[in-house]
Chain A
Amino acid sequence: MPDSASGAPATFRLEGAGRRFGAIEALRPADLVFADGDRVAVVGPSGSGKTTLLALLNATLTPSGGEVTLLGENIAGMSPGRLRVIRSRIATIPQHLGLVPNLRVWQNVATGRVGARRFFGTLRDLFFPPKAALAEIHELLERVGIEEKLFARTSELSGGQQQRVAIARALYQHPEAILADEPVSNVDPARAASLVALLTELAEERGLTLVMNLHNLDLARQHFPRLIGLRAGEVVFDQDPQKLDDDTFASLYNLDEDELLEDG
């Protein structure tokens, strides 16, 4: 288990933090620490609480109990303005990407900085971008392999290409961490591996903390030095995948089936 001494610097820290919605406990109170530069995959079946966990890590949800510390600051009682500043330092790639289809690719990348800019600043970024900004966007698109699509309309790109635009948008934010919610569930298996590899490479290159929700256990095992397994809102394991046996992995999904059979 990773060191959870409260003095150690960490990007994200959950202390007894959980989240419930009415009677449903989406995430049971958990103690988790994500150190700077950690690359972590969160695995588990649908409904296990993966998205809830990510939402706690970018403060789009507040915990029902316990403490959440993001980038060294406890978010309890934080003003909305301060929360937005924290969020602008954490890049989130949602499952459905959230790109604007009728904007150009470079414009979608440019929206990455919307959290750090004032309202009309973003307007200028999207319609009268300075050359330096366009150059940086071009460089990022080059890094993710789609630089020729700089001026293309985003809706014309394939699913995998749009995924790369979303990654470029995340990087344009100059974040300290990247949260990715099931980035490859809508992509074919061949592309999925290269996308996951890309994200882990980028995180390592830039020293970013990366937390990625994944459905595919094999992908998670291959690319991440640390796996967190969730089942029904509970943390089942949190360690190096090489040290885990196949039974523990199987239990993540199998027990769910048994429970289903029991309920009849």
Chain B
Amino acid sequence: MLGIALIAGLCMWSLGLAPGVLFDSSFRFAGKFFASAFQPALVYEDPLPGTPRPFLIDALFSLAATFRLALLAMCVSVPCGAVLAIFASSAWWPDLKRHPALTIPLRALYYSSRAFIAFARSIHELLWGLLFITAIGLSTGAAIAAVAIPYSGILAKIYAEMLEEHSRDSQNALRAVGASGLAGFAYGLLPRALPDLISYSFYRLECALRSAAVFGFIGVETIGTKIFFATQDRHYSEVWTYLYLLVGACALLEWWGHAIRRRIKPEPSN
């Protein structure tokens, strides 16, 4: 802990910050902001004339829109990630000693897909978002693409690692009785890895929800937009309602993923 404090101190000193910076005028803002945490709004604090929908309903619709964006992004990322993961994994390869002609194309596929995954992962979805928005303008499509590119890469990397990690016992047993490389992989290895693959995908969906919320700050219509405007208007209680709804949605997703995982994961045998 002392080491951490020392490093923090050195960083602050090199940035030219004095310890008092933590306590300047932003502290007053923080105080007001966090005080509102205990009083989240249930109605608009300063309703504009002609707003037809009640605050909470509006918030829920906005949350639904955020979830829809996240889900769409995942609908693109999961298949892309899965295909990339298969290209970037050697688990399904037939015995190369018996099929020497396949060695070069398979290895080329392997290395090029790993390179592509590394590239896709390395740029944060917000950065992709800003790039797209600058280049092709504001749209939901741009937001989906911005999330899908890095997420496909991340999913592909993790899926490939999971495929490499799981036991090859079943796959080898099937190959021993005449299964092809692909059949051994699909019916021997894939079912074993499936609970972990699904579990991780749910986690990514949760992350996508959070990313979609953040995209609200750069112009895509999600709950983040509402948070942005509410903050600007200093309606902190409204902000907290939105935040609690977001937290609730993430918790719900986590519970759902957990329930699905329990259904398909084998219990250890006695």
Contacts and interface: CB of A to CB of B under 8 A. Distances in A.
A96 B184 CA distance: 16
B177 A102 contact: no
A84 B266 contact: no
Contacts of A85: 178
B99 interface: yes
A162 interface: yes
Give the interface size class of chain B.
Answer: 20 to 34
A62 to B, nearest CB: 9
Given A115-B177, A155-B266, A98 B172 contact: yes
Contacts of A264: none
A58 B266 contact: no
Contact of A98 (B99, B170, B264, B269): B170
Contacts of B188: 98, 100, 111
Contacts, number: 99
Nearest to A96: B169
Contact of A157 (B95, B182, B269): B269
A209 to B, nearest CB: 15
Interface string A162-187: 10000000000100000000000000
B183 A94 contact: no
B172 A114 contact: no
B179 A114 contact: yes
Contacts of A92: 173, 176-177
Interface in B173-227: 173-180, 182-184, 186-188, 191-192, 194-195
A126 interface: yes
A61 to B, nearest CB: 11
A94 B186 contact: no
B173 to A, nearest CB: 2
A55 to B, nearest CB: 8
Contacts of B191: 100, 102-103
Give the interface size class of chain A.
Answer: 35 or more
B187 A112 contact: no
B270 A100 contact: no
Interface in A24-82: 58, 60, 80
Nearest to A92: B176
Interface in B47-102: 94-95, 98-99
Contact of A60 (B175, B264, B267): B175
Interface in A75-123: 80, 83-92, 94, 96-103, 111-112, 114-116, 119, 122-123
Interface in B10-68: none
Interface in B108-142: none
B105 interface: no
B259 to A, nearest CB: 16
B265 interface: yes
A159 B172 CA distance: 19
A48 B203 CA distance: 48
Top-4 shortest CB links A-B: A115-B178, A98-B173, A88-B178, A155-B266
Given A60-B175, A102-B266, 18 more contacts: A80-B95, A84-B180, A88-B177, A92-B176, A94-B169, A96-B169, A98-B169, A98-B170, A98-B176, A100-B188, A100-B191, A101-B266, A114-B179, A115-B178, A119-B186, A156-B266, A156-B269, A158-B270
20 contacts: A80-B95, A80-B99, A84-B179, A87-B177, A87-B178, A88-B178, A90-B177, A98-B174, A98-B188, A100-B191, A100-B192, A101-B266, A102-B192, A102-B264, A102-B265, A115-B177, A123-B186, A155-B269, A158-B269, A159-B269
Interface of A: 58, 60, 80, 83-92, 94, 96-103, 111-112, 114-116, 119, 122-123, 126, 153-159, 162, 173
